[in-house]
Amino acid sequence: MRAVVWLVEGTWQGCLDAAAQILPPDARVTLLHVTPSDVGEVAEAATAGLLGRAFRVHRPVRRFEEVADQEALEILKAAGGRLGRENAELVHLRGRVEREVVGAVAEGVDLLVVARDGDRSRLGPHSLGHATRFIVDHAPCPVLLVWPDEPPGIDSIPPPHEPYREGR
């Protein structure tokens, strides 16, 4: 079995622990981190709004991109250590996160493990982040969605609407 575990800042530890419990010991595991390219673009867009200042503006986000790449490698290294399996492959990509992840599982992958991200206080149709939603919709392999921390209790389901109850 070949599995890819997608790791994101904020949820990667929980995602990795859940994957470690579920994946069979002989699975070939790839740990994947994608550094988003659009964060730097937001900052660059703001500089483009500064009409007249071209003389002074020199790619203010270059340092951020270097640091983001370094930290991504650190996360992958830490994740490899935490997983503790030999032969785990570490992959670092940069680009549109959701497209890079789907691209990385396009061929020969049996399972993609993804952490649910998002706001635990508002479970509902928008409780998956944009990238996660895209990946769930487009990944060409089975996707395992895991909670990065404790799953919510059954009492997180809101009470049924009145008309539904009456209809029964």
Q: Which residues bind another protein (CB under 8 A)?
A: 8-11, 13, 36, 38-43, 45-57, 60-61, 63-64, 67-68, 71, 74-75, 96, 117-119, 122, 127-130, 132, 148
The residue (of 11 and 30) whose beta carbon lies closer to another protein is: 11
The residue (of 27 and 145) whose beta carbon lies closer to another protein is: 145
Three-state secondary structure readout of the chain: CEEEEEECCCCHHHHHHHHHHHCCCCCEEEEEEEEECHHHHHHHHHHHCCCCCCCCCCCCCHHHHHHHHHHHHHHHHHHHHHHCCCCCEEEEEEECHHHHHHHHCCCCCCEEEEECCCCCCCCCCCCCCHHHHHHHHHCCCCEEEECCCCCCCHHHCCCCCHHHHHHC
Tokens of 86: 């030999």
The residue (of 28 and 120) whose beta carbon lies closer to another protein is: 120
Supply the minimum distance, in Å, between the C-beta of residue 131 and another protein.
9
The residue (of 123 and 141) whose beta carbon lies closer to another protein is: 123
Supply the minimum distance, in Å, between the C-beta of residue 18 and another protein.
14
- Whose structure tokens read 């998956």? 128
> CA-to-CA distance for 16 and 46, rounded, in angstroms?
36
The residue (of 33 and 109) whose beta carbon lies closer to another protein is: 33
